[in-house]
Amino acid sequence: MTLLLVAMGLTALGGLCALAAGRRPRAATAFGVGSAAAGSALGLYAALGALLSGAGRPLAGAPQWSMPGGSLSLELDALSAFFLIPTLLLSGLAAVYGGEYLAAWRGRKNLGAAWFSFNLLVVSMALVMVARNAVLFLLAWEAMALSSFFLVAFEAGKPGVRRSAWVYMVATHLGTACLLAMFAVLGSRAGSFEFEAMGRAAQLSPALAGLAFVLALLGFGTKAGFMPLHVWLPEAHPAAPSHVSAVMSGVMIKTGIYGLVRLLAMIGPPPAWWGWTLVAVGATSGILGVLFALAQHDLKRLLAYHSVENIGIIALGLGLGLLGVSLNLPALAVLGFAGGLLHVLNHAIFKGLLFLGAGSVLHATGTREIDHLGGLLKRMPQTGAAFLVGAAAISGLPPLNGFTSEFLIYLGAFRATAADGGTIPAAVPAVMAIAALALIGGLAAACFTKAFGIVFLGEARSARCESAHEPGLSMRLPMLVLAAGCAAIGLCPLPVVRAMGPVIEPLAGPAASKVGGELAAAGGMLLAITIGAGLCLALVALLALLRLRLLAGRPVEETVTWDCGYARPTARMQYTASSFAQPLSALFRIFLGTREKLRAPEGLFPSAAGLATETPDACERGLFRPAFGGLAWLFSRLRVLQQGRVQLYVLYVVLTLLALLVWKLG
């Protein structure tokens, strides 16, 4: 714990130094990157130690704090440590990456301020995960929101970026409002804002516990990006610099999941409807998230929608876990929670990797439009290979890490439908989850085939694409490390799955004693599948080798692909992202509401033709825009009160005071 505090202090100090260095970009970058990377490495060591040793360690002798209701109580238990690991890992790597990525803005932007915000974001995320007092937690939560807001607004001069930043700001504050209400409910029952006291307080009545759960679902769900509340993700993630997108999408949204899980561990046995709700939310977010991703042609926006999808998968796992606890099905509880939480780690790794990869593409070509890219694998082989690993992992293919966590959820759901469950209340959501996961997996694979295929395969569609080149080592290294992480967790799932034991024990309730056994059994099955997948890969490699041997010594030449009878095919005749996704997006048109503007070719020798598609967010258009429009109208009515006369304002004050006095005395 002390080590972690030292790490956080180091990072914060480095941020301050960067701010002080201000407009001397090299010094600011050195301070920011150095302290963030060193602090993250140190903190990672502390968190790993805490996770492996198990027991939670409150900070002894926490100093007093004059904040009313607040205290500086911190604790590093298994759950905190588990969330800290991806947070610090990805933050450190993103810092290394960002050093080179932001170099292009040297002299044009205040990099000191950017690094200060970045380091503050890292520190506040870590603080959110170790805080054990509601006031401290909310302060860290707000610091996190503010620092990331400034990072999103980094390129505030570009059109649309400010709007994205404001959308993010409004969304995160609406979420915080729900959290305030939730902590007020819990705190008033417990008589203290200490998490420990809240957990110890007498059981909440079902209605009150339900209220707290719903508020947490709204508040934490806004940060995490559950479906109707996700609107800020596809706005903010593309707008932010890529290493920040990686941190925000990979780990910052997970603080929402962390908060939800922390609350669930705190407020006692869950009723079945909580599980139902989470499964429904998860299925909706997952399926719609991946569908919207499929319809995008902005690479980073596509990745942002995939975050919604993966948060959905995590919610599915947690929902099944809750159902398992409330229906007393140990296998479902253990595997659901383990799968959901492990997916937090996995998603952090592969989504971080994908965003960094997208950043490298953006860095090299200057565009995020998928349809303007192409053929990058030849020019950026390492970035392309890393991106491919991430794409396969996010599609849930063995033997990579995305498969590991999704498999645990599948396994839990199947166990609930058949062997030891078999009851309707467990089987129906389990089948729902299986169907949703299968659909999500298939669509995700389609979507990343599109993303990888259009961006990295084929021929370059623009001049900048043709002259693209691999970024420097400090940008490639983080991607390669993350890609290796994807493969490592996928290939050696056993130690990872076993380390999940202490993390889910406090959640599993009555099933806590069976955690080890269930995980070991699941790990065994995983190992078998991994070996199978490894054999398949070996077979493919063998075949490739064989092909190489057979072709050796024979002339091999390259030629253009089949060109439909055109004499001179150009790169623009390739499949585009929209055309690749068209069959699927046409199938799900009813959900997507894609707008098409088609100028069909006319006559025998058509000259100009065009097709533009746009898929605006259905929730934003159909839900939030009317709602906020209504609010704006309502508040404009209140202008009647604002006459600009001093006397009237005094009168308002007097009347309010009198009304309060009468109310108090009456």
Contacts with another protein, residue ranges (CB under 8 A): 643-648, 650-651, 653-654, 658, 661, 665
Any idea what DSSP says for residue 96?
H
- Minimum distance from CB of 639 to another protein (Å)? 12
Q: Measuring CA to CA, which residue among 169, 433, 394, 438 is closest to residue 302? A: 394
Any idea what DSSP says for residue 63?
P
Helix (H) or strand (E) holding 595: strand 595-599
CB 463 within 8 A of CB 74: no
Q: Would you say 536 or 655 has its CB closer to another protein?
A: 655
Residues 6+ apart with CB under 8 A from 665: none
Q: Would you say 418 or 660 has its CB closer to another protein?
A: 660
| Sign of the alpha-carbon dihedral angle for 76, 82, 83, 85 | positive
- Minimum distance from CB of 279 to another protein (Å)? 52
Q: Would you say 435 or 654 has its CB closer to another protein?
A: 654
Q: Six-digit token pair at 156?
A: 């505030």
Q: Six-digit token pair at 285?
A: 């977010």
- Minimum distance from CB of 650 to another protein (Å)? 4
- Minimum distance from CB of 200 to another protein (Å)? 34
Q: Rounded to 5 degrees, what angle do the CA atoms 347, 350, 354 make?
A: 125
Q: Would you say 637 or 645 has its CB closer to another protein?
A: 645
**Distance set, CA 315 to CA 125, 227, 232, 302, 504 (Å):** 20, 11, 18, 20, 15
Helix (H) or strand (E) holding 271: none
Radius of gyration of the chain from its Cα atoms, rounded to whole angstroms: 26
- Minimum distance from CB of 646 to another protein (Å)? 5
How many CB atoms within 10 Å of residue 191? 10
Q: Would you say 565 or 666 has its CB closer to another protein?
A: 666
Helices (H) and strands (E) in the chain, counts: 28, 4
- Minimum distance from CB of 659 to another protein (Å)? 12
- Minimum distance from CB of 163 to another protein (Å)? 24
Residue 350: alpha-carbon gap to chain centroid:
10
* 56 SS3 class: coil
Q: Would you say 535 or 650 has its CB closer to another protein?
A: 650
Q: Would you say 628 or 652 has its CB closer to another protein?
A: 652
Give the Cα separation of 231 and 234 in Å (integer). Answer: 6
Q: Would you say 611 or 648 has its CB closer to another protein?
A: 648
Give the Cα separation of 405 and 313 in Å (integer). Answer: 9
Q: Would you say 590 or 665 has its CB closer to another protein?
A: 665
- Minimum distance from CB of 664 to another protein (Å)? 9
DSSP secondary structure string, 400-454?
SHHHHHHHHHHHHHHHHHTTS---HHHHHHHHHHHHHHHHHHHHHHHHHHHHHHH
- Minimum distance from CB of 191 to another protein (Å)? 24
Q: Would you say 520 or 661 has its CB closer to another protein?
A: 661
Q: Would you say 597 or 645 has its CB closer to another protein?
A: 645
- Minimum distance from CB of 170 to another protein (Å)? 24
CB 287 within 8 A of CB 434: no
For residues 614, 615, 616, 621, the Cα torsion angle rounded to the nearest 10 degrees is 120
Q: Six-digit token pair at 67?
A: 């904040």
Residues 6+ apart with CB under 8 A from 647: none
Q: Would you say 538 or 661 has its CB closer to another protein?
A: 661
Q: Would you say 559 or 642 has its CB closer to another protein?
A: 642
- Minimum distance from CB of 636 to another protein (Å)? 16
Question: Is residue 72 classed exposed, middle or buried when 0-12, 13-18 and 19+ CB atoms within 10 A define those classes?
Answer: middle
- Minimum distance from CB of 643 to another protein (Å)? 7
Q: Would you say 605 or 635 has its CB closer to another protein?
A: 635
- Minimum distance from CB of 660 to another protein (Å)? 12
- Minimum distance from CB of 169 to another protein (Å)? 24
Give the Cα separation of 256 and 240 in Å (integer). Answer: 19
CB 311 within 8 A of CB 226: yes
Helix (H) or strand (E) holding 654: helix 646-665
Give the Cα separation of 380 and 370 in Å (integer). Answer: 16
